[in-house]
Amino acid sequence: MRTALDLAAPIRCVACDDASDGELCGSCAGRITVVRRPFCERCGLPNAPARCPCAALEGFVRARSLVAFAEPARSLTLAMKRRGRPALVRDVGSLVAALAIREELSCDVVCFVPAGRRARHRGFDPARLLAAAVARRLGVPMRPLLARIDDGPRQADVAMSARRANVRGRFDAKRADGTVLLVDDVYTTGATAEACSVALVRAGASEVNVLTWARTLRRLYLP
């Protein structure tokens, strides 16, 4: 809910800062890139090479993302992650849940990648809210099955080539039965998805699939 001070000022688009009826103005919303086929049937990477990089990753069976992590979706994602917009996260969660239904990612339980120390200090965990929205739409329980053993360097501060090593063994999982749908906000290299999925399989999950709002596509954001 907006405060009285908010209501006295126009809503600004998080991408272009123009006046808007919502988080994105109509022009920016129309420029979001939706992830579509052809893509790797395992990790969802569009126009993947014959041997997709995900072949090196363990743990999960399939991963799917709704949009490309490129402007204006990037600005929307950062607003969702950093500015404490629970209503926005819930709306995005409904869209992501619809993707899970289309891709037939059925599950027995939904869980999420637990927040790092910065998000914990803010008291706002977007992945948990996303997972709750997805579980509600799918009609299955959402459980906090994962915990961080330690924080270590943030993935955003680590070179792409070092991200698997940076998160390897960093997560522990409670007992997990059946098929688990692991929810996060952004899929970048798949390193976090791998580390969490491996922990869940070791804790008893028969299958782990990954669902994220956004997917980093290097070809879309490099000059």
Q: How confident is the model at residue 157 (pLDDT cuts 50, 70, 90)?
A: low
CB 53 within 8 A of CB 46: no
Q: How far apart are the first and last CA of the chain?
A: 38
The residue behind tokens 């692991």 is 182
Torsion of CA 51, 184, 131, 147, to 10 degrees: 110
Taking CA atoms, 152 is separated from 39, 82, 108, 163, in Å, by: 32, 19, 31, 11
The mean pLDDT of the chain is 86
How far is 62 from 42, CA to CA, in rounded Å?
A: 5
Instruction: Note the pLDDT tens digit of each residue in 56-69.
Output: 999 999 999 999 99
In the sheet where 207-215 sits, what is the strand order? 63-68, 207-215, 179-187, 109-112
Q: Supply the pTM of this predicted model.
A: 0.87
| Length of the chain in terms of residues written | 223
Map out the domains of the chain with their CATH numbers. Answer: 1-31 (no CATH), 34-221 (3.40.50)
Instruction: Note the pLDDT tens digit of each residue in 14-50.
Output: 889 888 888 889 998 999 999 999 999 999 999 998 8
Element housing 137 (H / E):
helix 126-138
Q: Is the pLDDT of residue 118 over 70?
A: no
| pLDDT for 180 | 98
Q: Is the pLDDT of residue 140 over 90?
A: yes
Least confident of 4-13, 131-140, 189-198, 213-222: 4-13
